[in-house]
Amino acid sequence: MMSWLFTGMLVLSLLFGILNGRMEQVSIAAVNDCGNAVTLILQLAGVMCLWSGLMRVAEASDLTGKLSRLFHPVMRLLFHDLPTGSPAAKAIVMNLTANLLGLGNAATPLGIAAMKELEKAAPQKGKASNEMAMLVVLNTASLQLIPTTTAALRLANGSAAPMEILPAVWLASAVSICAGIFMAKALSGRFH
Protein backbone atom coordinates (compact mmCIF):
# COMPACT_ATOMS: atom_id res chain seq x y z
CA MET A 1 0.00 0.00 0.00
CA MET A 2 2.77 2.43 0.93
CA SER A 3 4.55 1.79 -2.37
CA TRP A 4 1.40 2.88 -4.19
CA LEU A 5 1.17 6.05 -2.10
CA PHE A 6 4.81 6.99 -2.68
CA THR A 7 4.53 6.22 -6.38
CA GLY A 8 1.40 8.38 -6.58
CA MET A 9 3.12 11.27 -4.81
CA LEU A 10 6.11 10.99 -7.14
CA VAL A 11 3.92 10.92 -10.26
CA LEU A 12 1.83 13.86 -9.04
CA SER A 13 4.98 15.87 -8.23
CA LEU A 14 6.35 15.27 -11.70
CA LEU A 15 2.98 16.02 -13.33
CA PHE A 16 2.51 19.31 -11.47
CA GLY A 17 6.14 20.23 -12.14
CA ILE A 18 5.58 19.74 -15.87
CA LEU A 19 2.21 21.54 -15.89
CA ASN A 20 3.61 24.54 -13.99
CA GLY A 21 6.83 24.69 -15.99
CA ARG A 22 8.96 24.06 -12.89
CA MET A 23 10.72 20.82 -13.77
CA GLU A 24 14.09 22.41 -13.05
CA GLN A 25 13.04 23.20 -9.45
CA VAL A 26 11.58 19.70 -9.07
CA SER A 27 14.87 18.18 -10.27
CA ILE A 28 16.98 20.35 -7.94
CA ALA A 29 14.74 19.58 -4.97
CA ALA A 30 14.85 15.84 -5.71
CA VAL A 31 18.66 15.77 -5.88
CA ASN A 32 19.19 17.96 -2.78
CA ASP A 33 16.58 16.25 -0.65
CA CYS A 34 17.85 12.77 -1.51
CA GLY A 35 21.15 13.67 0.14
CA ASN A 36 19.34 15.13 3.14
CA ALA A 37 17.24 11.97 3.44
CA VAL A 38 20.36 9.76 3.52
CA THR A 39 21.94 11.97 6.20
CA LEU A 40 18.77 11.85 8.31
CA ILE A 41 18.51 8.07 7.95
CA LEU A 42 22.10 7.62 9.13
CA GLN A 43 21.53 9.86 12.16
CA LEU A 44 18.36 8.00 13.13
CA ALA A 45 19.99 4.62 12.48
CA GLY A 46 22.68 5.42 15.05
CA VAL A 47 20.09 6.12 17.73
CA MET A 48 18.08 3.04 16.74
CA CYS A 49 21.13 0.78 16.81
CA LEU A 50 22.15 2.01 20.25
CA TRP A 51 18.77 1.40 21.83
CA SER A 52 18.06 -1.83 19.95
CA GLY A 53 21.42 -3.15 21.18
CA LEU A 54 20.60 -2.15 24.74
CA MET A 55 17.26 -3.95 24.45
CA ARG A 56 19.07 -7.12 23.28
CA VAL A 57 21.45 -6.89 26.23
CA ALA A 58 18.47 -6.46 28.57
CA GLU A 59 16.87 -9.56 27.09
CA ALA A 60 20.06 -11.66 27.28
CA SER A 61 20.77 -10.62 30.90
CA ASP A 62 17.21 -11.49 31.98
CA LEU A 63 16.57 -7.86 32.80
CA THR A 64 13.27 -8.33 30.98
CA GLY A 65 12.27 -11.05 33.43
CA LYS A 66 13.12 -8.76 36.33
CA LEU A 67 11.23 -5.88 34.72
CA SER A 68 8.30 -8.21 34.15
CA ARG A 69 8.22 -9.01 37.87
CA LEU A 70 8.69 -5.31 38.77
CA PHE A 71 5.84 -4.25 36.51
CA HIS A 72 3.66 -7.13 37.71
CA PRO A 73 1.10 -4.92 39.54
CA VAL A 74 0.61 -2.70 36.48
CA MET A 75 0.65 -5.67 34.10
CA ARG A 76 -1.95 -7.44 36.27
CA LEU A 77 -4.28 -4.42 36.01
CA LEU A 78 -3.86 -4.07 32.25
CA PHE A 79 -3.44 -7.72 31.24
CA HIS A 80 -5.27 -9.61 34.01
CA ASP A 81 -5.51 -12.93 32.11
CA LEU A 82 -1.78 -13.08 31.41
CA PRO A 83 0.54 -15.15 33.66
CA THR A 84 3.40 -13.09 35.14
CA GLY A 85 6.43 -14.99 33.86
CA SER A 86 4.98 -15.93 30.49
CA PRO A 87 6.85 -15.19 27.25
CA ALA A 88 4.00 -12.82 26.32
CA ALA A 89 4.48 -10.81 29.54
CA LYS A 90 8.23 -10.50 28.88
CA ALA A 91 7.62 -9.44 25.27
CA ILE A 92 5.06 -6.85 26.37
CA VAL A 93 7.47 -5.43 28.96
CA MET A 94 10.20 -5.15 26.29
CA ASN A 95 7.76 -3.39 23.97
CA LEU A 96 6.53 -1.00 26.65
CA THR A 97 10.11 -0.24 27.71
CA ALA A 98 11.05 0.64 24.14
CA ASN A 99 8.00 2.90 23.94
CA LEU A 100 8.86 4.54 27.27
CA LEU A 101 12.27 5.37 25.80
CA GLY A 102 10.61 6.90 22.73
CA LEU A 103 11.91 4.25 20.34
CA GLY A 104 8.83 3.83 18.17
CA ASN A 105 10.66 2.03 15.36
CA ALA A 106 12.60 -0.22 17.74
CA ALA A 107 9.37 -0.94 19.62
CA THR A 108 7.62 -2.19 16.49
CA PRO A 109 9.40 -5.57 16.18
CA LEU A 110 9.04 -6.03 19.94
CA GLY A 111 5.33 -5.29 19.65
CA ILE A 112 4.98 -7.82 16.85
CA ALA A 113 6.76 -10.43 18.98
CA ALA A 114 4.45 -9.61 21.90
CA MET A 115 1.39 -9.91 19.68
CA LYS A 116 2.57 -13.33 18.44
CA GLU A 117 2.98 -14.49 22.03
CA LEU A 118 -0.49 -13.16 22.90
CA GLU A 119 -1.90 -15.00 19.88
CA LYS A 120 -0.43 -18.25 21.24
CA ALA A 121 -2.07 -17.59 24.62
CA ALA A 122 -5.40 -16.40 23.18
CA PRO A 123 -8.48 -18.42 24.15
CA GLN A 124 -9.91 -18.18 20.60
CA LYS A 125 -7.45 -18.47 17.72
CA GLY A 126 -7.89 -15.93 14.95
CA LYS A 127 -9.82 -13.53 17.17
CA ALA A 128 -8.31 -10.59 19.06
CA SER A 129 -8.33 -11.07 22.81
CA ASN A 130 -8.75 -8.24 25.32
CA GLU A 131 -4.99 -8.44 25.99
CA MET A 132 -4.25 -8.03 22.29
CA ALA A 133 -6.53 -5.00 22.10
CA MET A 134 -4.88 -3.49 25.19
CA LEU A 135 -1.42 -3.95 23.63
CA VAL A 136 -2.56 -2.15 20.48
CA VAL A 137 -3.97 0.68 22.61
CA LEU A 138 -0.75 1.00 24.63
CA ASN A 139 1.36 1.03 21.46
CA THR A 140 -0.86 3.55 19.73
CA ALA A 141 -0.96 5.89 22.73
CA SER A 142 2.79 5.33 23.27
CA LEU A 143 3.62 6.56 26.75
CA GLN A 144 7.05 8.17 26.40
CA LEU A 145 9.37 9.28 29.16
CA ILE A 146 12.23 10.08 26.80
CA PRO A 147 11.19 10.95 23.22
CA THR A 148 14.48 9.74 21.74
CA THR A 149 13.48 9.65 18.07
CA THR A 150 11.80 13.05 18.19
CA ALA A 151 14.77 14.55 20.01
CA ALA A 152 17.15 13.05 17.42
CA LEU A 153 15.06 14.57 14.62
CA ARG A 154 15.03 17.95 16.36
CA LEU A 155 18.80 17.79 16.91
CA ALA A 156 19.38 16.80 13.27
CA ASN A 157 17.39 19.85 12.18
CA GLY A 158 19.40 22.30 14.29
CA SER A 159 17.46 22.53 17.55
CA ALA A 160 19.57 24.03 20.34
CA ALA A 161 17.44 22.27 22.98
CA PRO A 162 15.99 19.08 21.48
CA MET A 163 14.54 17.88 24.81
CA GLU A 164 12.63 21.07 25.64
CA ILE A 165 9.48 19.31 24.43
CA LEU A 166 9.45 16.93 27.43
CA PRO A 167 6.56 18.53 29.38
CA ALA A 168 4.33 18.59 26.29
CA VAL A 169 5.25 14.99 25.42
CA TRP A 170 4.55 13.82 28.97
CA LEU A 171 1.19 15.57 29.08
CA ALA A 172 0.08 14.33 25.67
CA SER A 173 1.27 10.79 26.45
CA ALA A 174 -0.50 10.71 29.82
CA VAL A 175 -3.79 11.97 28.41
CA SER A 176 -3.74 9.62 25.42
CA ILE A 177 -2.75 6.57 27.49
CA CYS A 178 -5.44 7.23 30.14
CA ALA A 179 -8.13 7.73 27.49
CA GLY A 180 -7.01 4.62 25.61
CA ILE A 181 -6.91 2.40 28.69
CA PHE A 182 -10.31 3.68 29.85
CA MET A 183 -11.90 2.90 26.48
CA ALA A 184 -10.20 -0.49 26.15
CA LYS A 185 -11.43 -1.49 29.62
CA ALA A 186 -14.91 -0.09 29.00
CA LEU A 187 -15.28 -1.92 25.71
CA SER A 188 -13.49 -5.18 26.67
CA GLY A 189 -15.53 -8.23 25.87
CA ARG A 190 -18.35 -6.37 24.15
CA PHE A 191 -17.47 -7.46 20.66
CA HIS A 192 -16.80 -11.18 21.22
* Averaged pLDDT of the chain: 82
Closest to 91 in 3D by CA, of 64, 70, 63: 64
What is the rounded CA–CA span in Å between residue 78 and residue 182?
10
> Does the pLDDT at position 52 exceed 80?
no
Q: What is the pLDDT of residue 192?
A: 53
3-state secondary structure of 103: coil
What is the rounded CA–CA span in Å between residue 22 and residue 33?
16
Query: 21 in the Ramachandran plot: left (φ > 0), alpha (ψ -120 to 50) or beta?
Result: left
> Does the pLDDT at position 190 exceed 70?
no
Confidence band, pLDDT 50/70/90 cuts, at residue 104: low
> Does the pLDDT at position 51 exceed 60?
yes
Average the pLDDT over 25-29 and give the result.
Answer: 85
105-155 pLDDT, tens digit each:
667 788 888 889 888 877 788 788 888 889 888 888 877 777 877 888 888
In eight-state DSSP terms, residue 61 is T
73-100 pLDDT, tens digit each:
887 888 887 776 778 887 888 888 777 7
